Structures are given as structure tokens and as C-alpha cells.
Amino acid sequence: MLKQTEGSRAVAEAVALCRPEVICAYPISPQTHIVEGLGERVKSGALAPCEFINVESEFAAMSVAIGASAAGARTYTATASQGLLFMTEAVYNASGLGLPIVMTVANRAIGAPINIWNDHSDSMSQRDCGWIQLFAESNQEALDLHIQAFKLAEELSMPVMVCMDGFILTHAYERVDIPEQAEVDAFLPPYEPRQVLDPADPVSIGAMVGPEAFTEVRYLAHAKQLSALEVIPRIANEFAERFGRRSGGLLRGYRTDDAETIVVALGSVIGTLQDTADEMRAEGIKIGVLGIQSFRPFPLAAVRAALENAQRVVVLEKSFCVGLGGVVSTDVRLALSGLQLHGYTVVAGLGGRAITKASLHRTLRAAIADTLEPLTFMDLDWRIVNRQLEREAQLRRSGPIAENLLRDVGAIAIKVV
Amino acid sequence: MLQIRFHGRGGQGVVTAAELLSLAAFEQGRFAQAFPSFGSERTGAPVVAFCRIDDREIRLREPILAPDVLIVQDPTLLHQIDLFQGLDSAGYVLINSKRSFSELGLDTIEQRFRRERLRTLPATEIALKHLGRPLPNAVLLGGFAALSGLITLAAVAHAIGIKFQGKVAEANVAAATEAFAYIQREREESVGA
């Protein structure tokens, strides 16, 4: 059914349609509306049988999710930012144990400095945690990816993170098509666990493993993620056949076929990039956009195939690795090993800084002219950066950086948007 | 594509206004996108919210930098922030105030934009009358429907019915309807003059 609703509410409806049996979560912006929506459904009885467990922290949320999933329940949680960091130890345990938990990450920056706005630092910090990571481009895709995520997680017995941009998607009202319960039931069979804590057939889960088999357990986790490279597109195809729209998959190209320049990105910025690419195409510039939906597993071969005929690749990412550069870029570069392409990393949208078409035009044109720095921080305010550097050169006690920069920027209210 | 920017203060339902407008546009079969700018979440602090309306899927997610419409829920913002930044020269402006543009010190704005598209509306007073609370958001949408004809009063009422229930919904619909009539009357008077 077509509906105009908030991204968080749409995801809550999608998760409810998947009939989770245990939901445990601790509220944190910008994830809150999702779990509120689910909490209301459990309380009203609309989502039953399901237990909504209020926990005292994100660490407890993931710990309860592990217990519930091990006991054979379809389990869901959601978090963001510092919350994801706080549960990290349990996040690794969930994947190490092979438990098919589904978690939404409403992407938000990590402090310090404390910042509630969107970027991809939180889920990128869990890049190596062994969960599958899917990124949504729109609220429709966020909704659809959750339905696919439960099927994927349970088929592989592996947890799945669905990443959606905080505020930009979670708090945006837009048109979504919400499927019927019967359609979702036909797509997603009841959960049949590979391992379960059952008093009638007792097992233990979570053995200590020494050098004799640790590498093998880890290798099997890797092999399973690689098998997801086949399962993810298959599930996306089945979804498209049943629901009549394409969502998910490994990656999606937009006007890439004859493109000389391809911009690679994840998440909600893809739409703005597509609009920008259309405007540049109208001027005769051969540019396309490659959206990566599956960041883990990373589709090395598919990325290579999509990019190998271009002359220039610009990775635009909302995350970066201090002391190195791009996070996504590193993986894209691995996919392009041996190919002589011009490669650029553009770090944009950190801590909620708006990514505008005007800035994209400027940056991408510089890339096409090959005048762009290999690592560029889009719209960086050099004025306040240089002022701070000068302060540090002149004064030993130059003071806290964040406070200094805010003072230099002046009253935030001066800027309209 | 029609782009609307809402300005107000925390607690005035600025974000809700943008969401209501998107619901109204959806009701009229159009694509719409509403989203907030979470600059600050304190009661009384300046808040901005956005709504885009189009006949095809909206992919763009930048904040609205060049609006076609400005809806100002709190006139005390007028001389604190450059609210009119980026406004299209054929744009619409609706300000919540009992006073005229001239009385608000906006003579230069009247000269820069199309005068018949600039209006003030005593939305707080209308809200107080119907709701008993100074919540001007739905009222201004009723006024916007009359000012621009870009959305119908029926669609605004439908949107209010989705967001609110019972007496609150009824009171908001009544307030939006009064605002619609107020702006219509004003427009007729200015045409007559």
C-alpha cells in the first residue's frame, strides 16, 4: 500500500511484517522513532507473539539479542553512533556465534566532538565485525532491505546490519510502498535455526577455541560472507519478482555504461549524485554513479566490472580513516588492482554537513579536469582550520580545539541552513 | 519541483508543518519529501524544516537553498536571520503576524518580490481561538492553500486528520479553514482595490 510516512515509521512497519519474536533496544537518536514504532505495536498487540525487552544499555541490547537468537527467536534491535560502539564486544560475539540477528543502524557520527548528525563513521567502525552490512539509498529501500535482511540472515545464519542515514532518511517523510502481511509471509518463511538452545535437545553454544581450530572457525565465517555475494543478488531478484521493484543487491549503476567518470557512493547521497549526474550529462559530460548496497561482503569482482571501462573513479564517502584517507576508497582500490585509473577520494557530509549539488558540481568538475587532490575534504573551511593551526603554532596552551573552532565560526544562528 | 522552507522556533510544530504539507501533497497524488534541519532541539531555538513537491520521484536530499515558498511561523526571527536567503523572485511568503509587511519593517522585501504573493496572517491568534494554544503550523497551511492555490484546503484537512485525532484534529481543521477564508478575503479585497 502506498503511504506517505516517516522513514523510521516505515522501517518499524517492515520489521513488524517480518514477525520478530524478540525486540530489544535502547533509545538513541536518530534511531528512536523506529523502536518507538515497534514498541507501540507490541504494546497494542498488533505485533504478537513478540516480546519487547527494555534494556539498560546498548551492550545489554545486543547481549539480550544474542540470548534470544540462540534460544531460537527471530530477533531485532536498532542503534546508532555511540550506541553501536558501546555494544561492540557483543556485536562481534553475535557474528562469531553465527546468530541471524537483524539490526538497523541509523547512521550517525561518532564523538568526540559529540555530534548527533549523520555520517557513516559508526557502521564503518564495525566494518570488520563479521556482520553483513547493507546500505539503503531511500526509505523505500530501507524498508525493503529489512525484509530481505531477515531472509538473508537466517539462510546464512549470520547477522545483518541495515544501515540507513540518520535524519536524512530516518526523519524524512516520503512515499513508500508497504507490502501486505501475506506477501511478506510468502517471501520470508518462519525461522528455522541451525543451532538452538533447547532443553529437549541440549547443546552448548560459545565454546572456547584454541589455536587448534580458531583459524578454521574464522575462515568459515569468511567463506560464509563470500557465499553471501551469491545469496544477496538471488534474494534481491526474488524480492523484485514478488514485490515488483528492485531493492538491495550488491550494487547498482546509474548511467555508468559509457561513463568516463564514475562516482562511487553509499546511502542516501546517491539520489543527489544522480540528479547532479543528469545535469552534467545534459552538458555532454560522460558521468555515472555507482551505488554500493552491500558493503560487507564487499563485491570486489562486481565493483571491478562496473568500473573497469571508466577513466576516472571518484569515491565519495561519509567516513574517513584518520591517518590514511578513505575507508570505502581502500576497498574500491583493492577491486581495481592493476588497472590504471585516475582515483579520487572525496570525504563529504561528515557530522551532518549538507552535501549540495553545487558543491558536487564544483568537486566533480575538478576531478574531471584532474585538478582535484587525491584526498579532498569537500567544503572544508580552511579559514577556521588555518586559524587553529596558527594558534597552536603560537601558543602552547592553545586550548580545546572544538571550542576554539566554534568561537571562530561565530553564532550558528547566522546561517539559515 | 516546488520547494517550501519553514522557519520557526522549537515547540511551534515547524517540523510537523513540513510533514503535514507532504501528507497533503501525497493526498493530491504527488510525490513529496519533508525533512527537518536539526540545528537545535531546544524549545524557542530557531528551527528550519523543508518540503519538496514534484510530479516524479524526488531523489535530491540537500537542504532547500532556493525556496519557492517561505512560511515563517515566528515573526521575531525576521530581523535575526536572513530568512529570505535564496528565495525565488516569483516566490511566495507567508508570515505569522497581525501586522503588515510594512509594519514589520519589510518594505525592501515588498519591492524585491511579487507583492501579491506576500502575505501576513494572524495565525497565532487564530490558533488560540480554535485550539487554545499558540500553535500556528496547520493554520499557516490553510493560509498557504488560499495564497498559492498549489494545495487544496481539503488536502490540508486530510493531512491534519492523519497527524492528529479527535478534537485536536477538528480544531486544527477549523483553524486552517478560517485562515483559508482570511487570506481569500484579503486577496479579493486587494484585487478589488
Pairing of strands B92-96, B118-121: parallel
Mean pLDDT rounded to a whole number for chain A:
96
Interface probe, candidates A4, A108, A414, chain B, greatest B C-beta count within 10 A: A4
Q: What is the DSSP-derived secondary structure letter of residue A318?
A: S
In the three-class reduction of DSSP (H, G, I as helix; E, B as strand; rest coil), residue A56 is classed as: coil
In the three-class reduction of DSSP (H, G, I as helix; E, B as strand; rest coil), residue A227 is classed as: helix
In the three-class reduction of DSSP (H, G, I as helix; E, B as strand; rest coil), residue A75 is classed as: strand
Taking CB atoms and an 8 Å cutoff, what residues of chain A touch B36?
Answer: 167, 171
In the three-class reduction of DSSP (H, G, I as helix; E, B as strand; rest coil), residue A324 is classed as: coil
Residue with cell 547477522: A159
Contact B61 A117 (CB under 8 A): no
Q: Are B6 and B52 in contact (CB under 8 A)?
A: no
Q: What is the pLDDT of residue B84?
A: 94
Cell numbers representing residue B170 in the block: 477538528
Backbone Cα Rg of chain B: 15
Cα torsion at A278, A166, B53, B50 (round to 10°)? -120
Q: What is the pLDDT of residue A416?
A: 47
Contact A171 B39 (CB under 8 A): no
**Which segments of chain A have a pLDDT < 50?**
411-416
CATH number at A2-243? 3.40.50.970
Taking CB atoms and an 8 Å cutoff, what residues of chain B touch A354?
Answer: 62-63
Q: What is the pLDDT of residues B40-57, one digit of tens each?
A: 567 888 899 999 999 999
Contact B61 A268 (CB under 8 A): yes
Is pLDDT above 90 for B137?
yes
Interface probe, candidates A3, A116, A273, A416, chain B, greatest B C-beta count within 10 A: A416
Taking CB atoms and an 8 Å cutoff, what residues of chain A touch B81?
Answer: 413-414, 416
Q: What is the DSSP-derived secondary structure letter of residue A325?
A: B
Cell numbers representing residue A362 in the block: 564544483
Per-residue exposure over A70-101, b if at least 16 CB sit within 10 Å of its own CB, e if not: beebbbbbbbbbbbbbbbeebbbbbbbbbbbb
CA distance A2 to chain B (A): 10
CA distance B13 to chain A (A): 15
Residue with cell 540507513: A164
Q: Are B75 and B97 in contact (CB under 8 A)?
A: yes
For residue A308, count other CB atoms closer than 10 A to its CB: 12
Q: What is the pLDDT of residues B147-187, one digit of tens each?
A: 999 999 999 999 999 999 999 999 999 999 999 999 999 88
Between CA A274 and CA A207 the distance in angstroms is 48
Nearest CA to A65 out of A14, A17, A25 is that of: A25
Q: How many residues does chain B have?
A: 193
Nearest CA to A20 out of A52, A67, A45 is that of: A52
Contact B80 A413 (CB under 8 A): yes
Contacts of A105 (CB under 8 A, 6+ apart): A31, A78, A79, A80, A84, A122, A123, A161, A162, A163, A164
Nearest to B83 among A175, A352, A416 (CB): A416
Domain regions of chain B by residue span: 2-192
Nearest to B32 among A4, A268, A412 (CB): A4
Residue with cell 522556533: B9
Q: Are A28 and A170 in contact (CB under 8 A)?
A: no
Mean pLDDT value of segment B81-86: 91
Contact A173 B33 (CB under 8 A): yes
- Chain centroid to Cα A326, Å, comes to 16
Cα torsion at B22, B23, B26, B32 (round to 10°)? 20
For residue A323, count other CB atoms closer than 10 A to its CB: 5
ipTM > 0.90, yes or no: yes
For residue A186, count other CB atoms closer than 10 A to its CB: 11
Between CA A30 and CA A295 the distance in angstroms is 21
E-strand stretches of A200-255: 251-254
In the three-class reduction of DSSP (H, G, I as helix; E, B as strand; rest coil), residue B46 is classed as: strand
- Torsions phi, psi of B18, nearest 5? -65, -40
Pairing of strands A287-292, A251-254: antiparallel
Residue with cell 514485490: A243
Nearest CA to B62 out of A200, A40, A125, A279 is that of: A279
Contacts of A261 (CB under 8 A, 6+ apart): A285, A286, A287, A288, A310, A311, A312, A313, A314, A364, A367, A368
Q: What is the pLDDT of residue B39?
A: 61
Using the Cβ of B161 and the Cβ atoms of chain A, whether some distance falls under 8 Å is answered with no
Mean pLDDT rounded to a whole number for chain B:
94
Same fold, A2-243 and A251-377: yes
Which stretch of DSSP H or E encloses residue A42? Answer: helix A32-44
First to last CA, chain B: 33
Q: According to the CATH classification, is domain A251-377 in 3.40.50.1000?
A: no
In the three-class reduction of DSSP (H, G, I as helix; E, B as strand; rest coil), residue A273 is classed as: helix
Using the Cβ of B66 and the Cβ atoms of chain A, whether some distance falls under 8 Å is answered with no
Taking CB atoms and an 8 Å cutoff, what residues of chain A touch B62?
Answer: 272, 354-357
Interface probe, candidates B62, B72, B76, B156, chain A, greatest A C-beta count within 10 A: B62
Taking CB atoms and an 8 Å cutoff, what residues of chain A touch B38?
Answer: 116-117, 167, 171, 352
Q: What is the pLDDT of residues A142-158, one digit of tens each?
A: 999 999 999 999 999 99
Mean pLDDT value of segment B118-143: 97
Between CA A235 and CA A415 the distance in angstroms is 45
Domain regions of chain A by residue span: 2-243, 251-377, 387-414
Is pLDDT above 70 for B23?
yes
CA distance B42 to chain A (A): 13
Between CA B13 and CA B7 the distance in angstroms is 10
Between CA A364 and CA A372 the distance in angstroms is 8
Nearest CA to A195 out of A147, A148, A154 is that of: A154
CA distance A291 to chain B (A): 13
In the three-class reduction of DSSP (H, G, I as helix; E, B as strand; rest coil), residue A209 is classed as: coil
Q: Are B21 and B67 in contact (CB under 8 A)?
A: no
| Architecture of the CATH domain B2-192 | 3-Layer(aba) Sandwich (3.40)
Per-residue exposure over B74-96, b if at least 16 CB sit within 10 Å of its own CB, e if not: bbebbeebebbebbeeebbbbbb
Residue type, A88: T
Query: Is the pTM higher than 0.90?
Result: yes
Q: Are A117 and A166 in contact (CB under 8 A)?
A: yes
